[in-house]
């Protein structure tokens, strides 16, 4: 499939089914993957002034759009599966919000 580092972002929005299924693991080192995982965890678990996490807010505001956007993130996850730490096993895991807090 297409493994371009510069996918057409418009295509991601309108043709999400055409996203590449994987990104070559060589794009990120194991150390970089660990950092990326930590950043994702921090972002999703950050609490706003109401005490809600970003993940809670995103699901509450527009669950459908949030899940659609995660489809694009899923291909990035393919590059992170070899590093220790946080993983998104599948989009289904996002149904369990508490798993990511």
Task: Say how many C-beta atoms besides its own lie within 10 A of residue 86's C-beta.
Answer: 17
Give pLDDT, residue 66: 76
pLDDT digits (tens, 9 = 90+) for 69-80: 776 666 556 555
**Separation CA 30–CA 36 (nearest Å):** 10
Give 31's contacts (C-beta < 8 A, 6+ positions apart): none
74 in a structural domain: yes
95 in a structural domain: yes
DSSP secondary structure string, 43-60? HHH-B-TTS-BHHHHHHH
Whether the pTM exceeds 0.95: the reply is no
On whether the CB atoms of residues 86 and 37 are closer than 8 A, the answer is: yes
10 in a structural domain: no
12 in a structural domain: no
In this structure, what token pair is assigned to residue 79?
Answer: 């590059």
Q: What is the mean pLDDT of residues 64-72?
A: 73
Distances 50 to 42, 53, 56, 62, 100 between C-alpha atoms, Å: 17, 9, 11, 18, 18
Number of domains in the chain: 1
> Looking at the predicted structure, is the pLDDT value of residue 63 above 60?
yes
41 in a structural domain: yes
Give pLDDT, residue 81: 53
pLDDT digits (tens, 9 = 90+) for 20-60: 455 555 567 777 777 777 777 777 777 778 888 777 777 77
On whether the CB atoms of residues 2 and 24 are closer than 8 A, the answer is: no
Domain that holds residue 40: 28-100
89 in a structural domain: yes
User: Which residue is associated with the tokens 């993983």?
Assistant: 87
67 in a structural domain: yes
39 in a structural domain: yes
């Amino acid at each position: 499939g297409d493994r371009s580092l510069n996918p057409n972002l418009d295509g991601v929005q309108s043709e999400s089914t055409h996203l590449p299924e994987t990104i070559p693991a060589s794009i990120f080192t194991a150390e970089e993957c660990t950092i990326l995982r930590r950043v994702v965890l921090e972002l999703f678990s950050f609490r706003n002034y109401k005490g809600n996490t970003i993940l809670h807010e995103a699901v509450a505001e527009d669950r459908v759009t949030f899940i659609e956007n995660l489809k694009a993130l899923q291909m990035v996850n393919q590059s992170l599966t070899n590093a220790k730490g946080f993983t998104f096993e599948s989009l289904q895991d996002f149904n369990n919000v508490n798993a990511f807090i």
